[in-house]
Amino acid sequence: DIQMTQSPSSLSASVGDKITITCRASQSISRHLNWFQQKPGKAPKLLIYGASTLQSGVASRFSGSGSATDFTLIISSLQPEDFATYYCQQGYTTPTFGQGTKVEIK
């Protein structure tokens, strides 16, 4: 299986901050990388697929980039509703997820 490693595992930030979450695959996955947001007690929500394509209805402050083994999720200006846990997931072979990055209020 392809292992996905996210960093950091958690971070504290303020409203308006720009934050970056990285995801590394144990082997090349081309651009088959997806990002999800999960709030407590809720199902995950798709944010980005194909490394950089924003899912319909997702705010433009979210962006993704990367290819092969290294990927990035950026939130350009953190909003109160963005405090959540974020997961990357590879869709190249049988799906695997990163361990998650919890974004907390500073």
- Report the interface residues with other proteins, using CB under 8 A: 1, 30-32, 34, 36, 38, 42-46, 49-50, 53, 55, 87, 89, 91-92, 94-100
Smallest separation (angstroms) from other proteins to the CB of 46: 5
Nearer to other proteins, 20 or 53 (CB): 53
Smallest separation (angstroms) from other proteins to the CB of 44: 6
Smallest separation (angstroms) from other proteins to the CB of 92: 8
Q: Three-state SS across the chain?
A: CCCEEEECCEEEECCCCCEEEEEEECCCCCCCEEEEEECCCCCCEEEEECCCEECCCCCCCEEEEEECCEEEEEECCCCHHHCCEEEEEECCCCCEECCCEEEEEC
Nearer to other proteins, 22 or 96 (CB): 96
